[in-house]
Copies of this chain bind each other. A is one copy, B any other.
Amino acid sequence: MLMIPSAARRSLGTAVLLSLGLLSVNARAQSPAGLPADVRATASALRAKALAGTRAYEIVRSLTVEVGPRPAGSKAYDAAVQWGLRTMKELGFRNVHSEKTTVPHWVRGEESGEIVAPYPQPVHLTALGGSIGTPAAGIAAPVIEVPSLAAVDKLAPAQVKGKIVFYNAPMRRTKDASGYRDAVPVRGGGASAAAKLGAVAVLIRSIGTDHNRTPHTGGMRYQDGVEKIPAAALSNPDADLLDAEIAAGKPVTFRLKLGAHAEPDVETANVVGEVPGRERPEEIVLLGAHLDSWDLGTGAIDDAAGIAIIMETARRLAGLPRGPRRTIRVVLYANEELGTSGARSYAAAHQDELARHVMAGESDLGSGRVWRLSSHVNPARLPVVADLAKLLGVEQGGNDAEGGSDLRPMSPGRVPVLSLSQDASEYFDYHHTANDTLDKIDPKDLDQNVAAWAAVVYAVAEMPGDLGRAPEGAGRGE
């Protein structure tokens, strides 16, 4: 094997290496820049063994049954921290500890909605995370429907003033979650866009692909200097109903009552544990997922699945006869859902160490099967990524992956990212709803994820060289 000292490798771009004949453009040829054969063999064996069955489902069961909903700032989240510490120790991790972070404490309270006229009907809605509440008697106002976030900007204030704006934009079902990326901006920005024109509240069609009476919550934010107005999501069938009443051509009045409010910020924690490296313990392969969930479901797909996938991945590597060269660090982040405060605290606390984070990966898209491996690494190291994709039997994606929202705060540290795209086709049927429960998970799907991560993490933790540093700038979300 051609060994290039790490420092020299970092100083050489792909073009230079190619011009020197040191880098093959054909990853299939097991180029010196790709994975060594012994690492590949062990990674393949780890993968095969995990496909035959893992304990990941049992971890999801434990977190969803024994803790359940665990929103940021709640007592249940503190119970989740205790669960994380206890479970990591039970799984044999080392250096298990919590790391302080401060999170918002948003509380949903009681909520309800009804179409008052022309045809009175109760509806199912839920406040968007971070929304203010309504007065106790609720807000009753005429409704104006718009097909998109962009469309509201074309309205005159006189059309909107004193009204409830109803954003009625359906989300597309996609394997790659692009339907979500396209649909979600209205959730974050819809309230302030409407408030600028004098709206008194907003309703959005749920950002979700199902037809259940289970509305989808999710974080929203108020623009500075714009009046805050309440924001809620209607379930898809209720959005259909409101649309149908509006289509009848008579004036439509809606009443919503939201008990949502913010309580003082809460000091809580991320949970961290490690499988120490045998030769280079100071070099870290970080595996993350988020420990918090929304309040409506039991947080099975979002993100007990990810928690289980990364913990079970690390447990399997810890159990090897000869542990990997580098340290595997498992981080269970606090409060991904309402501002990634846990991830920001981690990046700040470990700033001096980020240069020694040789890779980061996150699992936060439920239990859908892995179908693509994307990256954000030194382009010279793409042959490693190609070898891994081939080993997993998945597509190789682009080299602009963000990997997950909890990894974003580490982006200035140019931490290399490997990202396993999961099949998102069904994820957004349940995401952020009461329906996010254990029964939505097939244990075999979790096993397939563990198998992929085990191979990837082992390879990166074991291979002689590393992935270099990521290109400047953050990767793209997915």
Is A173 close to B, CB under 8 A?
Answer: no
Whether B213 lies near A214 (C-beta < 8 A) is yes
Q: How far is the CA of A361 from the CA of B212 in the complex (A)?
A: 31
Chain B: minimal CB distance from A406 (Å) = 25
Q: How far is the CA of A237 from the CA of B296 in the complex (A)?
A: 13
Q: How far is the CA of A236 from the CA of B212 in the complex (A)?
A: 14
Q: How far is the CA of A66 from the CA of B437 in the complex (A)?
A: 34
Is A29 close to B, CB under 8 A?
Answer: no
Residue of B at shortest CB range from A210? B212
Is A440 close to B, CB under 8 A?
Answer: yes
Whether B65 lies near A248 (C-beta < 8 A) is yes
Chain B residues with CB under 8 Å of A214's CB are 212-214
Between A67, A122, A297, the greatest number of chain B beta carbons within 10 A of the residue's beta carbon is seen for: A122
With A124-B434, A435-B212, A435-B213 given, is the CB distance from A61 to B244 under 8 Å? yes
Q: Which parts of A121-169 form the interface with B (CB within 8 Å)?
A: 121-122, 124
Indicate with 1 or 0, residue by residue over A385-419, a CB within 8 angstroms of chain B CB atoms. Answer: 00000000000000000000000000000000000
Residue of B at shortest CB range from A214? B213
Q: Which parts of A408-433 form the interface with B (CB within 8 Å)?
A: 433
Chain B residues with CB under 8 Å of A245's CB are 65
Is A439 close to B, CB under 8 A?
Answer: yes
- Of B67, B237, B435, B439, which one neighbours A439 at CB under 8 angstroms? B237
Chain B residues with CB under 8 Å of A211's CB are 435, 437, 439-440
Q: Which parts of A252-282 form the interface with B (CB within 8 Å)?
A: none
How many A residues, CB 8 Å from partner?
A: 32
- Of B66, B67, B437, which one neighbours A213 at CB under 8 angstroms? B437
Q: How far is the CA of A66 from the CA of B241 in the complex (A)?
A: 10
Chain B residues with CB under 8 Å of A244's CB are 61, 65, 438
Chain B: minimal CB distance from A5 (Å) = 53
Q: Which parts of A56-84 form the interface with B (CB within 8 Å)?
A: 61, 64-69
Q: How far is the CA of A124 from the CA of B245 in the complex (A)?
A: 28
Q: How far is the CA of A223 from the CA of B36 in the complex (A)?
A: 75
Whether B121 lies near A68 (C-beta < 8 A) is yes
Q: Which parts of A427-453 form the interface with B (CB within 8 Å)?
A: 433-435, 437-440
Q: How far is the CA of A150 from the CA of B69 in the complex (A)?
A: 35
Whether B298 lies near A66 (C-beta < 8 A) is no
Chain B residues with CB under 8 Å of A124's CB are 434
Chain B: minimal CB distance from A107 (Å) = 14
Chain B: minimal CB distance from A427 (Å) = 15
Between A69, A122, A212, the greatest number of chain B beta carbons within 10 A of the residue's beta carbon is seen for: A212
Residue of B at shortest CB range from A110? B110
Is A240 close to B, CB under 8 A?
Answer: yes
Q: How far is the CA of A129 from the CA of B304 in the complex (A)?
A: 36
Residue of B at shortest CB range from A245? B65
- Of B66, B213, B236, B240, which one neighbours A297 at CB under 8 angstroms? B213
13 interchain pairs (CB within 8 A)? A65-B241, A67-B119, A68-B120, A68-B121, A68-B241, A211-B439, A213-B214, A213-B437, A236-B439, A237-B439, A240-B437, A240-B439, A241-B438
Q: Which residues of A contact B (CB under 8 A)?
A: 61, 64-69, 119-122, 124, 211-214, 236-237, 240-241, 244-245, 248, 297-298, 433-435, 437-440
- The 9 A-B residue pairs whose C-beta atoms are closest, nearest first, are A237-B437, A213-B434, A68-B121, A65-B244, A211-B439, A66-B119, A213-B435, A237-B439, A212-B212
